[in-house]
Amino acid sequence: MEHSSGEKEMKGGITVRKHRQLRSDLIECAWTAKRTDPALALYYSEQIKRGKNGKAAIVKVARKLLSRIRCVWLSGEPYQTAVVK
């Protein structure tokens, strides 16, 4: 979910509108990505430290994963896991 006007940008969570199966599949992919991508695993652990419960944290990971999927789709380049330093 995103609300933008001029210089203001507000990003929200994943909306519940339609495509329930797609939402469910994206959450399942986020659980797998958390285990295989070091950057997403770090992001997940940061969300847990901030007080999010596991389900809320994985929804945030799913949102980040969705942004990466969109970038891959638009650029046409293959997905590469990020390197955490």
pLDDT digits (tens, 9 = 90+) for 36-67: 999 999 999 999 999 888 889 999 999 999 98
What is the Cα–Cα distance from 83 to 19, expressed in whole angstroms? 32
Confidence category of residue 13, pLDDT binned at 50, 70, 90: low
What is the Cα–Cα distance from 58 to 45, expressed in whole angstroms? 10
What is the Cα–Cα distance from 32 to 16, expressed in whole angstroms? 21
What is the Cα–Cα distance from 1 to 16, expressed in whole angstroms? 10
Instruction: Using the predicted structure, report yes or no on whether residue 14 has a pLDDT greater than 80.
Output: no
Residue type (1 letter), 24:
S
Q: What is the overall mean pLDDT for the chain?
A: 85
- Whether pTM exceeds 0.95: no
Q: Write the CB contacts of 34 (distance below 8 Å, at least 6 apart in sequence).
A: 40, 41, 44, 58, 61
Confidence category of residue 30, pLDDT binned at 50, 70, 90: very high
